[in-house]
């Protein structure tokens, strides 16, 4: 019996190009960067956009939560296909999305009653500093130099612990995205209404340029699929709907 050439071609295509729906992109992200990523229910502004963009291109996604440092190591070892938080110098072989998936506005936060006068990054050198995971690599070099001079420097994988450390007196200054700080301070105030520690006023000093984070992928195909998915979400209105839904929720929840 003669097998049609068309059947052979179809069979070959199935082996060479398996259905995209069966492809799972393993995405590494931080443990605590709400409202961008909220681990307890696999949601958040960036996580929703990422999963829906990949799905729009026919790709499934599986999220792995860990510290920024561990995620970078796993990506470079081939254990992860995508990263939310990295920079080209940390993942030199990555293919980056055409537009940023997050823009962090990192600020230096102190308690107002402490009376610290911080006008430049080097003013932190005499203070106990609490920062986020990989801050010394992700922030401009003057910060790493200052952190090495400080009497105490700790990087927290759980950023709510940064806020607790500041209000408990374990840190003099913390460095984190302003929105993430407001999210966690709001959470602590809602969780502990009688605890007057979290009612103390704070000062936020802007000395860092906004940090743009582009999605990193292990190959060009995943990157292109993500970019195409984002374009689809923009064209059908879903991108704006996701942003608006979180903005409405946050406006009712966050302290100013």
180-223 pLDDT per residue, tens? 999 999 999 999 888 999 999 999 999 999 999 999 999 999 99
And the tokens for 196?
A: 């007057």
Q: What is the pLDDT of residue 252?
A: 86
Q: CA Rg, the chain, in Å?
A: 22
Q: What is the pLDDT of residue 95?
A: 99
Q: What is the pLDDT of residue 253?
A: 86
Q: Average of pLDDT values for 72-79?
A: 98
User: Collapsing DSSP states into helix, strand and coil, what is residue 57?
Assistant: coil
**Lowest model confidence (mean pLDDT) among 12-16, 102-106, 143-147:** 12-16
Which DSSP helix (H) or strand (E) runs through 193?
A: none
Indicate the CATH number of 19-103+211-253 among 3.40.190.10, 1.10.10.10, 3.30.2350.10, 3.40.190.290: 3.40.190.10
Q: Average of pLDDT values for 221-249?
A: 96
Q: What is the pLDDT of residue 26?
A: 98
Which DSSP helix (H) or strand (E) runs through 67?
A: none
User: What percent of the chain is predicted at pLDDT more than 70?
Assistant: 91
- Homologous superfamily (CATH) for 106-205: Periplasmic binding protein-like II (3.40.190.10)
- Predicted confidence band at 106 (pLDDT cuts at 50, 70, 90)? very high
53 in Cβ contact with 232 (< 8 Å):
yes
Q: What is the pLDDT of residue 10?
A: 34
Tell which residue, 241, 211, 225, has the closest CA to residue 27.
225
Q: What is the pLDDT of residue 256?
A: 66
**What is the pTM for the complete model shown?**
0.86
Q: What is the pLDDT of residue 19?
A: 43
Examine the pLDDT at 66 and tell me if it is beyond 50: yes
- Helix extents (H) in 129-210: 135-138, 141-149, 159-168, 178-191
Domain with CATH 3.40.190.10 in the chain: 19-103+211-253, 106-205
Mean of the per-residue pLDDT values of the chain: 91
Tell which residue, 87, 96, 103, has the closest CA to residue 46.
103
């Amino acid at each position: 019996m003669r097998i049609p050439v068309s059947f052979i071609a179809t069979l070959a295509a199935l082996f060479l190009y398996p259905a995209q729906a069966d492809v799972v992109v393993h995405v590494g992200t931080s443990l605590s960067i709400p409202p961008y990523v909220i681990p307890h229910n696999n949601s958040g502004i960036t996580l929703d956009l990422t999963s829906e963009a990949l799905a729009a291109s026919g790709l499934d996604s599986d999220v792995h939560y860990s510290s920024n440092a561990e995620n970078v190591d796993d990506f470079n070892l081939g254990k992860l296909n995508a990263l939310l938080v990295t920079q080209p110098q940390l993942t030199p072989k990555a293919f980056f999305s055409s537009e940023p998936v997050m823009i962090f506005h990192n600020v230096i936060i102190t308690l107002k009653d402490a009376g610290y006068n911080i006008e430049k990054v080097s003013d932190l050198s005499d203070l106990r500093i609490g920062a986020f995971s990989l801050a010394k690599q992700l922030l401009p070099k003057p910060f790493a130099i200052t952190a090495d001079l400080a009497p105490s420097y700790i990087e927290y994988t759980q950023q709510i612990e940064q806020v607790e450390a500041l209000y408990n007196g374990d840190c003099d200054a913390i460095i984190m995205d302003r929105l993430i700080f407001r999210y966690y301070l709001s959470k602590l105030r809602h969780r502990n209404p009688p605890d007057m520690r979290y009612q103390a006023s704070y000062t936020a000093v802007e000395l860092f340029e906004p940090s743009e984070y582009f999605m990193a992928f292990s190959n060009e195909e995943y990157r292109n699929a993500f970019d195409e998915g984002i374009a689809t979400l923009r064209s059908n209105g879903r991108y704006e709907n996701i942003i608006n839904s979180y903005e409405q929720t946050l406006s009712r929840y966050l302290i100013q």
